[in-house]
């Protein structure tokens, strides 16, 4: 961790692609953009770096068989995973910021926010292994993100740990602000589910900021490891809101009008005061938000 301030992550790729005019009939903007508009993906990475992000995440959240089947791209998975790494590394190089770390995303393999759809370890770990193997040569760490339950996070983290890189885990919280995961587990139970694994940081992501504020103190109490958060700027979970480019890019859930950069930074300052070491954003959080975090917190 940095001595004077938190580590800054980037924001959400899928919604930023949409904001820049990309669209998709299958709802997988970020996946298709890797092949159709790679320069836009690279430029978004660069904009987040310019805003102050010290860690950028590969744009492969939707590069999973479930989502690729929508657009007939199942056989291009490894090509797209490699592209997500290449574009992140190119953005870092062009930005002249070699110290920026690249996090490889290990996302949900079915619909986001749906713990009841998480498959058993023997089913999902081979798929995670396939994704991680494609990302590993070019990333600096893995982040198992938008995990809806302790079991889902454990399967992803078990695989990530095989590649001898730092492993971070980020869970999505109940948008009803219960202070619990979408599975109903407490932060303490979620951390306990990862016992014995070399997880170096625990975070919350892709939920409303109010949910993070309700749960972060319990997470801080549950571990001596670094903790953090990267919430979204959406109005909350909807039952038909399926995974997309970052935590769920498929425009079914509208963005909130009250979470501009200044408002979001106030939440982040609150999380910092609660002990957060790592801060960033997810769906709907753009470079302007990250720049405001940098200006306010560093």
pLDDT value at 242 more than 80: no
Model pLDDT for residues 158-212, shown as the tens digit of each residue: 999 999 999 999 999 999 999 999 999 999 999 999 999 999 999 999 999 999 9
pLDDT value at 243 more than 90: no
Comparison of pLDDT for 29 and 266, the residue scoring more: 266
Alpha-carbon span 231 to 104, nearest angstrom: 18
pLDDT at site 235: 86
pLDDT band at 24 (very low <50, low <70, confident <90, very high): low
pLDDT value at 28 more than 90: no
Interacting residues of 240 by C-beta distance below 8 A, sequence separation 6+: 252
Gyration radius of the chain over CA positions: 17
Model pLDDT for residues 97-111, shown as the tens digit of each residue: 999 999 999 999 998
Q: Do the strands 227-231 and 199-205 form a parallel or antiparallel pair, or are they unpaired?
A: parallel
pLDDT value at 236 more than 90: no
In 3-state terms, what secondary structure has residue 169? strand
pLDDT value at 250 more than 60: no
pLDDT band at 70 (very low <50, low <70, confident <90, very high): confident
pLDDT at site 26: 58
Burial class (CB in 10 A: 0-12, 13-18, 19+), 260: middle
List domains and CATH numbers for the chain: 7-297 (3.20.20.330)
H helices of 96-186, in order, are 121-135, 150-160
pLDDT at site 46: 98
- Provide the percentage of residues in the chain whose pLDDT is more than 70: 92
Give the pair of three-digit tokens for residue 254.
């509208």
User: What is the number of other CB atoms lying within 10 angstroms of the CB of residue 262?
Assistant: 11
pLDDT band at 25 (very low <50, low <70, confident <90, very high): low
| Mean residue pLDDT across the chain | 92
pLDDT value at 249 more than 80: no
Mean pLDDT on 5-13: 97
pLDDT at site 245: 37
Residue in this structure with the two tokens 């800054």, named with its chain if needed: 8
Mean pLDDT on 6-25: 88
pLDDT at site 237: 58
Q: Mutual orientation of helices 287-297 and 38-51 as an angle, nearest 10°?
A: 20
């Amino acid at each position: 961790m940095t001595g004077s301030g938190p580590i800054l992550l980037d924001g959400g790729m899928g919604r930023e692609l949409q904001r820049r005019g990309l669209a998709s009939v299958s709802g997988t903007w970020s996946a298709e953009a890797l092949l159709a508009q790679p320069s836009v993906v690279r430029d978004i990475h660069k904009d987040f770096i310019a805003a102050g992000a010290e860690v950028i995440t590969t744009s492969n959240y939707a590069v999973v068989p479930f989502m690729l089947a929508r657009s007939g791209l199942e056989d291009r998975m490894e090509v797209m995973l490699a592209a997500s790494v290449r574009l992140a590394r190119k953005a870092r190089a062009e930005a002249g910021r070699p110290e920026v770390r690249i996090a490889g995303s290990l996302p949900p393999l079915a619909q986001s926010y749906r713990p009841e759809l998480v498959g058993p370890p023997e089913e999902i770990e081979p798929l995670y292994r396939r994704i991680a193997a494609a990302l590993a040569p070019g990333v600096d760490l893995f982040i198992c993100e938008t995990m809806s339950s302790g079991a889902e996070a454990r399967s992803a983290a078990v695989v990530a740990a095989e590649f001898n890189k730092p492993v971070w885990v980020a869970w999505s919280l109940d948008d009803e602000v219960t202070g619990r995961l979408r599975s109903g587990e407490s932060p303490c139970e979620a951390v306990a589910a990862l016992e014995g694994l070399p997880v170096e940081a625990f975070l919350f992501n892709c939920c409303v900021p109010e949910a993070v504020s309700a749960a972060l103190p319990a997470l801080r109490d549950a571990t001596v490891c670094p903790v953090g958060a990267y919430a979204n700027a959406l109005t909350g979970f909807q039952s038909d809101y399926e995974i997309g480019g970052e935590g769920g890019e498929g425009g079914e859930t509208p963005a909130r009008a009250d979470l501009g950069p200044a408002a979001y930074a106030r939440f982040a300052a609150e999380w910092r005061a609660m002990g957060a070491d790592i801060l960033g954003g997810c769906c709907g959080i753009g470079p302007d938000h990250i720049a405001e975090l940098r200006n306010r917190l560093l």
